[in-house]
Amino acid sequence: MGSLFDKLKEGLAKTRDSLTDKFNEVFGLAVTIDDDLYDELEEVLITSDVGYETSVDIIERLKKKVRTEHISDVALLKDAMRDVLAEYMESEEPFDTTGPMVILVIGVNGVGKTTSIGKLAHKYRADGKKVILAAADTFRAAAIDQLEIWAKRAGVEIVKHQEGSDPAAVVFDAVQAFKARKADVLICDTAGRLHNKKNLMNELEKINRVIDREIGDARKYSMIVLDGTTGQNAIVQAREFKSVTNLDGIILTKLDGTAKGGVVFSIKQTLDLPVLYIGVGEGIDDLQEFDPKAFAQVVI
């Protein structure tokens, strides 16, 4: 796993200090695998922002694994726990980045949406893809300006209109550029607010219609950006967006700034959405594809 694993380890230092130390203490003092041990492990998960229902579910899966594989040695329980956590986070349909694709990115202002788009653009360009950004969060002039700065940083093209423009009109022009330049990835910055669900729904429906009509053969993904430092509140926010639009996955930011990394497990279980990318630092390279095995290895 090399340097990416090291960067993940470093980026999740606060979660590691919280979660790993607690787990090590429980495993270190345990003599036999019994209900008391399971209760302690469950408590560690709950106090690390994993959430009650998710924690109970994870421990039930661990018990089943112990029974099925006839694990009786406490020393082997840690690896079993890692396996359970990794399996818990596995996505049934892996995120496919081959071929032309359009990504709609939504999320409230302040969660790191524009920054994440810039980092995604950099990542795809580093993979040899031709990327175009669409500044379709037209509610704030600052959002357009910020995206332009990130487009320059990432070395990609941007399509923008003035503040207050129709977001679907921006996307239309961006789609024309996408087709004319034979680009591989179009990333649309959209919906930076949730003050009026009906308006938001109409806006996103209009954008989706433009994309489907103009480039129906490109794969389309909708991603929501959530701030990891807000823990369980991030789930509430995602539920709100999910009630008005289809979502395919999550970009979870600012995990380097929180001990609440356990929320990753809760998000998957509660929202039934895969975590696709995680932010583990400020740098342009610090948005990583989410690897459940590596994540489980780091936090336990």
Q: Is 253 labeled as ligand-binding?
A: yes
Q: Is 185 labeled as ligand-binding?
A: no
Q: Is 296 labeled as ligand-binding?
A: no
Q: Is 193 labeled as ligand-binding?
A: yes
Q: Is 109 labeled as ligand-binding?
A: yes
Q: Is 190 labeled as ligand-binding?
A: yes
Q: Is 252 labeled as ligand-binding?
A: no
DSSP-derived secondary structure for 224-259: EEEEGGGTHHHHHHHHHHHTTS---EEEEE-GGG-S
Q: Is 107 labeled as ligand-binding?
A: yes
Cα 268 from Cα 266, distance rounded (Å): 6
Q: Is 29 labeled as ligand-binding?
A: no
Q: Is 255 labeled as ligand-binding?
A: yes
**SS3 assignment for 147-211:** HHHHHHHHCCEEECCCCCCCHHHHHHHHHHHHHHCCCCEEEEECCCCCCCHHHHHHHHHHHHHHH
DSSP summary character for residue 48: T
Q: Is 280 labeled as ligand-binding?
A: no
Q: Is 108 labeled as ligand-binding?
A: yes
Q: Is 123 labeled as ligand-binding?
A: no
Q: Is 270 labeled as ligand-binding?
A: no
Q: Is 254 labeled as ligand-binding?
A: yes
Annotated binding site: 107-114, 189-193, 253-256
Q: Which parts are annotated binding residues for GTP?
A: 107-114, 189-193, 253-256
